[in-house]
Structure 1
Amino acid sequence: MTRPTDETIAETLLRLVAERGADKTVCPSEVARALGGPHPDGWGPLMQPVRRQAVRLTKEGRIAILRKGRPVEDPDDFRGVYRLSLPR
C-alpha cells in the first residue's frame, strides 16, 4: 500500500470534521483509519502525518485541535490525547 499524500490526508481530515459537524469532534485515529484501513499496521504509521496536517490546518484556521475540550494555545507544542473539530 502506498502512503497517502499530505494533500489526501488533509482532504480526508477536513471531510471527516465537516461531516461530523459543529460542536462535534473527530479522533485523529479515525482519519488514519479512513486512509490506512482497520489494521494497526495500516493506520498506525499515519498518526504522525495526520498530526502534521492537523497542525498546518489549525494554523490556517480551517480546523481546531482540542485538548480536554479546549482549543490548544500553541498547535506546535501540545501533548497527549487530542481531538479535531471545526473552528468555533
Structure 2
Amino acid sequence: MTLQDSPPAPAPSLDDGILKVLANAGSGTLSAPEIAHALAPDGDWHGLLMPIRRAAVALALAGRLVIYRKGKPADPNDFRGVYRLGLPRHD
C-alpha cells in the first residue's frame, strides 16, 4: 500500500472544529459567524450557522462550552437572538 493508496484522513467533526477555534481565541468569546469564517475561510460559511448553533447547544449541555447572551451565560435550551460562544472558565 503506497501513500497514494491510503484512505484520506477523516475530516474533523464540527464539534472539534468549534472547540479548536475557541481554544485559539483564548479566553474570549466568538460569534457563530466568526467561528463559521474560521472553519470555512474560502467557502460558504453561511451554511454552517445552523449546524454551529445545534452543535453549540449539545456542547453546552455537555459542559464543554458556554453560550453567552448579552455577556451572561444563557440556558442552552432557551436562548434567542445574537449569541457568543466561549470555553468554560476555570476561575
Unaligned runs of 5+ in 1: none
Count of aligned positions:
79
CA distance in 2, matches of 1:20, 1:37: 16
Displacement after TM superposition at 1:11 (Å): 1.0
The structural deviation recorded for 1:63 is 0.4
The alignment-based identity, stated in percent, is 46
Specify which of 56, 64, 80 is matched with residue 58 of structure 2: 56
The RMSD of aligned alpha carbons is 1.7
What residue number does 1:17 align with?
22
Q: Which has the larger radius of gyration?
A: 2
Cα displacement (A) at 1:8: 2.1
Alpha-carbon distance, 1:65 to partner: 0.3
User: Does 1:28 pair with 2:32?
Assistant: yes
Q: Greater helix share, 1 or 2? A: 1
- Structure 1 runs of 4+ with >4 Å offset: none
**3-state SS of 1:84 partner:** strand
How has the CA–CA distance of structure 1 residues 35 and 16 changed in structure 2, closer, same or farther, with 3 Å as cutoff?
Answer: closer
Structure scoring higher RCO (CA < 8 A, sep ≥ 6) equals 1
State the TM-score, normalized to the length of structure 2.
Answer: 0.77
**Compared with structure 1, are the counterparts of its residues 61 and 38 closer, same or farther at alpha carbon in structure 2 (3 Å cutoff)?**
same
In structure 1, the residue matched to 2:77 is: 76
